[in-house]
Structure 1
Amino acid sequence: NSAVGLFVGSIIVFMFGLNAEQIAALRFQKRDEG
């Protein structure tokens, strides 16, 4: 169970990182437009 938890946790962190980069990119674009 611990192995599965670590695997799922790593995926969640990875997806969160991708989302964070996308959000940062959108904010940066909005700053350029503003």
Structure 2
Amino acid sequence: MGQMFGTGLWHMISFEQGTEYGEMHLKEATRSFHSR
């Protein structure tokens, strides 16, 4: 529960920092997910 909240908070902060960074992170995550 705490870890999930921490992850959500981190995503909120990264989103606040800018959509560009968020999109870059999302693309990276999608790429690693598909490469499995």
TM-score for the superposition, normalised by structure 1: 0.54
Percentage of identical aligned residues? 0
Q: Which residue of 1 aligns with 2:33?
A: 19
Secondary structure, aligned partner of 2:33: helix
Work out which structure has the larger RCO, using CA pairs closer than 8 Å and 6 or more positions apart in sequence.
2
Tell me how large the CA RMSD over aligned residues is. Answer: 1.3
Secondary structure, aligned partner of 2:18: helix
Larger of the two Rg values belongs to structure: 1
Note the residue ranges of structure 1 that are not aligned, 5 or more in a row: 23-34
Q: Which residue of 1 aligns with 2:13?
A: none
Give the structure with the larger helix fraction: 1
Note the residue ranges of structure 2 that are not aligned, 5 or more in a row: 1-16
